[in-house]
Structure 1
């Protein structure tokens, strides 16, 4: 198997190129440390030979001072290399985290439905964190210790050819054996990273649903699954660690053999008067020093097992392509936008129906929308009714292009929606749901989605228009007050009004309301109804209604049943037709369900 810094050279180039200066400094510090490590034993060998031969104390003192100075300088370069290595590693991995997170956010919802938030967190943070050594210590230290190894063997050959050749043969055998054993451990570490991602995905999912789990008495069931996951995790971890232990045990045995070779060669050469005592010491010292690069390379290769698995998993995510094409170049007109659905067939199980021709013979249980057609003129409001699972929310997702249809045509603003750039589309289509997601950030950032270009005056005027000015004045730091992600400090009505402010600031041409005023007290609901009236003025609107009272402002009514049009027409006309489904609902006052 190829070594990652060869196989993934482009990954290194992309993330190390912006840090060219630091990388060069790291290389200089590391190479300087290597050179000094090779030179210092020579001084110690000279000191021993001089002392044995009865040399002057001045020569011995000079050698001792030089040895100490070089040892200290070696440590200085080692510290500098460590500092630069950590800086390079964190800078590169943080840049990779940003790219990976941005890539995940650009993918369509089918990807996110197939991967839990915890699993993606492990990919973006856990796997990337394992690559920190790949960007600094792994590559630089493998190369650096390779140079140190070559330097030691070269010096040994100059000191004595027999010693140099003997230890060179030992080093080749040792490295070959370690490289051969390395490949045996890659698969166990890949399995370990995968089950680790599953574990964090499980934790994230069930911690988020802790209230429902406790309320429905499912704690014991969740704990049983938790224990089962841990029982699967342990043997996988043990296999991965055993593979690493094999490398460690092999390296320890090899160092023992290396020391034995060095002692045997030194004893033989000494008996033949071929070397001095200082040279004998040098051979043994260099042999011990030889263990350092071999052991370091072994450690890096052990990390390499995990790094290869992490690189594979990171690249696996980066290679996932969104099913949504973003090649559009048509702009939407300003103002209210007309909406047109023509013979729309859509299924969340896209892999089962790739050929649009199959829409002529659909399997009803697989299609969320079936042959759906309607036209909503600019500036009018559509009331969307239907039972749970009828496809109401799916229409909103398609208009935001969170998914693409399998067959048919969707037009927005007079042109095909697929020809509109996603960034512009989602700026010109506003969605307000019952569940408002707030961020752990300031009020301003929560309202503008971190867009600094929206002036404060515009935000304040919008808050004033929606009746939120008294609430804003009650905050200690106004727009700079920090909010919690759990909507702490806000009532449900205030959170809904903040969601409406977000849409106002976007100034969309199409507004989609997913029963934004439900589950609120009458006074707050009345306030939100006033805000909705302002929001829908001079804009096209779609109201996904769960209660009949909310469609009183609609111009058209569309009732869905299992993804098909059950009834569609002008609201007043349908209300005055006694046999229409809408008139019967108004007469009985029965709700129409939720979701879809």
Structure 2
């Protein structure tokens, strides 16, 4: 089932950027103490880094004063030297000297310069150490936050109803759980530190700039409104591309997962070309969305650098004139130029981070959409249990159920399965057979009526208690990456080695296990490709056998085994079904002849019920199904 096209169409913006970022910040709340520590060391690091240029400016003043002092006659004061220069007509030079701390005839004081440089070195080293400490703490905060977010998503997936997975393509869901959370981690790791550092740096540098020269500060502040204009224009256009990028990533993942899980059928039916075209179309859409997002976000840095360079030129020219007229020292101009660079750089980073935040917000929104999905009905606060020993009497009392509100499926159905009975359910595809047993397991909730187990409404039981009493073998086998022994023991993790082998022998798994190089320690690969479909089915049957459930549900459990093995498994099934109520969904009517009760379903209703012989005598729906399989095949 594909996702609704309107839900993730390219070009769609984040529904609410501010709300998504607010919820993302709330995820950091458990790390409040560490966050305060990060803020403290970051402030200290920035204060020291901001002081650095001012200290280096002092070293420049000492060197420049020494150079100029050597050019002046010794033995006179600075005022006398300035007066002499004005008398000679060197007014510009005189203005510059008057604004300097210079001693005529004295050269560079290398001792004082060395002390200033040592102080600058200590300040920068300490600033770097504090910055490293902040980065270390930040990494802890981000990793712990993402760890909790992944845990929330994992827990949520166990609380959403089964219908959610029916509506959601697996690749799209996996993309939210992996790609989107990874993008959130990258966004938090890269932008949190830069954002805090950049904002604090802007304020710290701005304060130092005002101290040095309010005039030059006013010139530098021109970059601020320009930055906001650039961010507003570019960010608004790039936001929708980031949203589209992650949407298309999910769709491409879904298509890849679907194609490669069924690659054998793709080749059998010769659809390689169609798959390649489909992949090419989706890949092209992802390319266009990704290119648009990265191109637009990439415009911010060059634009901001261009504006910053213009401001740099203006500061250099005006500062040079101020040094020439003696209103500023060369060291202060040098420091101010460094500050202007430091001022424009964090603004550029903040502008650039706006697009990273847009990308992170788009991913956060997709993850929060999953976390906000309606959950299955919670277990009752005071659950009821049938008791330690379950007899297995199942009763359907006027139940109604529909997947879609306007499409009835099961209406007013009643049924009783007595303890120890084997109840077979047959009927055409879509009749509601599998739905019926899914309702027993509470994979879906009833619209009306109730189902009882030994007189207890299953809705009043904990799901874990209910499902712990039920064994289920499905037509679609599922084995996880692990040994054959581990896959069988999944039905009862505390089972002994003897119990596992006994279950394997009863279900004829033991026969083929000994033909494998590692026996029960044979590792099932990711797609269980090293065992046949029939062998996989036998392992799942052994798993159910080991669990020794009170209620057994078999949904086409022998559909993947050969005729000879099926006959053997039927004997094992007979032993497994003894003394417990069993529901069997079957299309092969030969496998249910011995059932105590056969239900024939059509369009959600039980149209016939009885034993195999009784139903054949009626020559109704069951007889038509039976004759279609056997008589028709013979003729």
For residues 92-133 of structure 1, the C-alpha deviation after alignment (integer angstroms, 9 at most, x for no partner) is 223322321332343223222222111111111111111114
Would you say 1:315 and 2:368 are equivalent positions? yes
Q: 1:391 aligns with which of 413, 427, 432?
A: 432
Give the number of aligned pairs.
Answer: 576
Q: What is the Cα deviation at residue 146 of structure 1?
A: 0.5
Asked if the contact 1:16–1:135 (Cα under 8 Å) also holds between the matched residues in 2, the reply is no
Partner Cα separation in structure 2 for residue 414 and residue 590 of structure 1: 40
Asked if the contact 1:434–1:516 (Cα under 8 Å) also holds between the matched residues in 2, the reply is yes
Q: What is the Cα deviation at residue 378 of structure 1?
A: 1.8
Q: What is the Cα deviation at residue 540 of structure 1?
A: 0.7
Asked if the contact 1:247–1:302 (Cα under 8 Å) also holds between the matched residues in 2, the reply is no
Asked if the contact 1:433–1:513 (Cα under 8 Å) also holds between the matched residues in 2, the reply is yes
1:423 is aligned to 464
1:35 is aligned to 47
Computing the radius of gyration over CA atoms, which structure comes out larger, 1 or 2?
Answer: 2
Q: 1:561 aligns with which of 573, 590, 602?
A: 602
For residues 299-322 of structure 1, the C-alpha deviation after alignment (integer angstroms, 9 at most, x for no partner) is 221201101111211111111113
1:227 is aligned to 280
Q: So what's the TM-score if we normalise by structure 1?
A: 0.86
For residues 356-391 of structure 1, the C-alpha deviation after alignment (integer angstroms, 9 at most, x for no partner) is xxxxxxxxxx33334432211122110111122222
Structure 1 residue runs without a partner (length 5+):
353-365
Aligned pair in 2 of structure 1 residues 488, 557: CA closer, same or farther (>3 Å)?
same
Q: What is the Cα deviation at residue 41 of structure 1?
A: 1.1
For residues 387-417 of structure 1, the C-alpha deviation after alignment (integer angstroms, 9 at most, x for no partner) is 2222211212222222223333322332222
Partner Cα separation in structure 2 for residue 243 and residue 150 of structure 1: 28
For residues 149-199 of structure 1, the C-alpha deviation after alignment (integer angstroms, 9 at most, x for no partner) is 1000111112223233443x3354245335533344322211222122112
2:393 is aligned to 338
Pairwise CA RMSD of aligned residues?
Answer: 3.2
Q: What is the Cα deviation at residue 143 of structure 1?
A: 1.9
Aligned pair in 2 of structure 1 residues 378, 281: CA closer, same or farther (>3 Å)?
same
Would you say 1:47 and 2:59 are equivalent positions? yes
1:356 is aligned to none
What secondary structure is seen at the aligned counterpart in 1 of 2:606? strand
Would you say 1:59 and 2:100 are equivalent positions? no
What secondary structure is seen at the aligned counterpart in 2 of 1:273? coil
Partner Cα separation in structure 2 for residue 512 and residue 452 of structure 1: 20
Q: 2:404 aligns with which of 334, 349, 353?
A: 349
Partner Cα separation in structure 2 for residue 554 and residue 280 of structure 1: 97
Partner Cα separation in structure 1 for residue 409 and residue 314 of structure 2: 75
Aligned pair in 2 of structure 1 residues 592, 342: CA closer, same or farther (>3 Å)?
farther
Q: 1:98 aligns with which of 148, 151, 164?
A: 151
Structure 2 residue runs without a partner (length 5+):
1-13, 67-107
Aligned pair in 2 of structure 1 residues 134, 232: CA closer, same or farther (>3 Å)?
closer
Partner Cα separation in structure 2 for residue 96 and residue 112 of structure 1: 20
2:76 is aligned to none
Aligned pair in 2 of structure 1 residues 474, 11: CA closer, same or farther (>3 Å)?
farther
Single out whichever of 525-534 and 456-465 deviates more from structure 2.
456-465
Aligned pairs for 1:442-521 within 5 A = 442-449=483-490, 458-463=499-504, 465-469=506-510, 481-521=522-562
What secondary structure is seen at the aligned counterpart in 2 of 1:431? strand
Single out whichever of 247-256 and 21-30 deviates more from structure 2.
21-30
Q: So what's the TM-score if we normalise by structure 2?
A: 0.82
Asked if the contact 1:515–1:550 (Cα under 8 Å) also holds between the matched residues in 2, the reply is no
Aligned pairs for 1:259-274 within 5 A = 259-274=312-327
Asked if the contact 2:49–2:127 (Cα under 8 Å) also holds between the matched residues in 1, the reply is yes
Single out whichever of 68-77 and 391-400 deviates more from structure 2.
68-77
1:552 is aligned to 593
Aligned pair in 2 of structure 1 residues 86, 188: CA closer, same or farther (>3 Å)?
same
Q: What is the Cα deviation at residue 147 of structure 1?
A: 0.7
Partner Cα separation in structure 2 for residue 196 and residue 588 of structure 1: 47
Aligned pairs for 1:62-461 within 5 A = 62-167=115-220, 169-170=221-222, 172-181=224-233, 182-322=235-375, 324-327=377-380, 329-333=383-387, 334-350=389-405, 352=406, 366-449=407-490, 458-461=499-502
Asked if the contact 1:384–1:543 (Cα under 8 Å) also holds between the matched residues in 2, the reply is yes
